[in-house]
């Protein structure tokens, strides 16, 4: 299944691929024919792969326990830091950063159930998504969700190749953990900040899957 968030890109990219394939048929030079055909096939396969939207089974324990935080994105854990989060939590927090390569699924999901209390879109620069300063300098969205166990703040951050974020959310929305919220296109990063007494259940280098991997547990005593 292909994601609805990439319909415009899918049509454009498949259109270009079709032109390449048709051009290859009409060109008499065999080298150019093979070149156009190969490039057209590569672009077609990349488009279908990048914009895929596989079904995910949300862990039952996360659906039954709002303190559990699941990964909002596919990718690799590249940072786990304690820092001051100044936009929504407004104080010390634990941040987990996930880097998405171009071959990862780029559809995003909410990491917790709760109510959207904060949303902001921020235009920005073109730093590679794994650069530490990309979190603040690149184009990104800021999303704050609250439930009975605390606040979770997360960012969709896009990188060097393209600047395109899709996000369905608005303040006041009620979310269930694992709901699709949007997409980051062509190499991206997701930051998740939680209150400082949160128990982190992953480590740097771990691979995580959106909607499936439990990455943290909020403090139930809050």
Distance CA(159)–CA(208), nearest Å, equals 19
pLDDT at 191: 94
Query: How many structural domains compose the chain?
Result: 2
Residues belonging to the active site: 188
Q: Are residues 45 and 131 in the same domain?
A: no
pLDDT at 159: 67
Q: Are residues 34 and 12 in the same domain?
A: yes
- Rg (alpha carbons) of the chain, rounded to whole number: 19
Q: Are residues 115 and 164 in the same domain?
A: yes
Q: Are residues 80 and 190 in the same domain?
A: yes
Alpha carbon distances (Å) from 89 to 3, 30, 82, 93: 31, 61, 13, 7
pLDDT at residue 41 greater than cutoff 80:
yes
pLDDT at 221: 76
Taking the CB of residue 34, how many other CB atoms lie within 10 A of it?
12
Alpha carbon distances (Å) from 143 to 53, 131, 153, 186: 22, 20, 6, 20
- pTM for the whole structure: 0.86
Distance CA(106)–CA(142), nearest Å, equals 17
* Tens digits of residue pLDDT in 116-158: 999 999 886 655 555 555 556 678 899 999 999 999 999 998 8
Distance CA(56)–CA(86), nearest Å, equals 32
* Tens digits of residue pLDDT in 176-203: 999 999 998 876 889 999 999 999 999 9
Distance CA(134)–CA(158), nearest Å, equals 8
In a domain, 222, yes or no: no
Burial of 148 (0-12, 13-18, 19+ CB in 10 A): exposed
* Tens digits of residue pLDDT in 89-105: 999 999 999 999 888 99
The domain in which residue 178 lies consists of: 60-217
> Tokens 């690149």 — which residue?
138
| Band of pLDDT at residue 165, cut at 50, 70 and 90 | confident
Token pair listed for 74:
């596919």
pLDDT at 63: 96
Q: Are residues 27 and 89 in the same domain?
A: no
Distance CA(13)–CA(6), nearest Å, equals 10
Taking the CB of residue 86, how many other CB atoms lie within 10 A of it?
9
């Amino acid at each position: 299944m292909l994601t609805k968030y990439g319909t415009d890109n899918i049509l454009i990219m498949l259109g270009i691929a079709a032109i390449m394939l048709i051009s290859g048929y009409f060109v008499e030079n065999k080298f150019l024919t093979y070149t156009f055909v190969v490039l057209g096939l590569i672009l077609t396969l990349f488009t279908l792969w990048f914009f895929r939207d596989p079904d995910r089974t949300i862990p039952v324990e996360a659906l039954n326990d709002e303190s559990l935080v699941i990964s909002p994105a596919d990718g690799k854990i590249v940072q786990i830091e304690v820092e001051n989060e100044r936009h929504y939590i407004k104080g010390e927090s634990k941040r987990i950063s996930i880097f998405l390569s171009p071959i990862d699924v780029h559809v995003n999901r909410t990491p917790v159930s709760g109510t959207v209390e904060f949303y902001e879109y921020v235009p920005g620069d073109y730093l590679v998504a794994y650069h530490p300063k990309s979190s603040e300098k690149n184009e990104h969205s800021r999303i704050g969700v609250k439930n009975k166990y605390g606040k979770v703040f997360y960012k969709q951050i896009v990188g060097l190749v393209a600047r395109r974020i899709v996000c369905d959310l608005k303040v006041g929305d009620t979310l269930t953990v694992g709901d699709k919220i949007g997409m980051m296109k062509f190499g991206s990063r997701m930051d998740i900040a939680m209150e400082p007494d949160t128990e982190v259940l992953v480590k740097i280098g771990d691979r995580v899957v959106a909607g499936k991997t439990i990455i943290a547990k909020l403090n139930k005593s809050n």
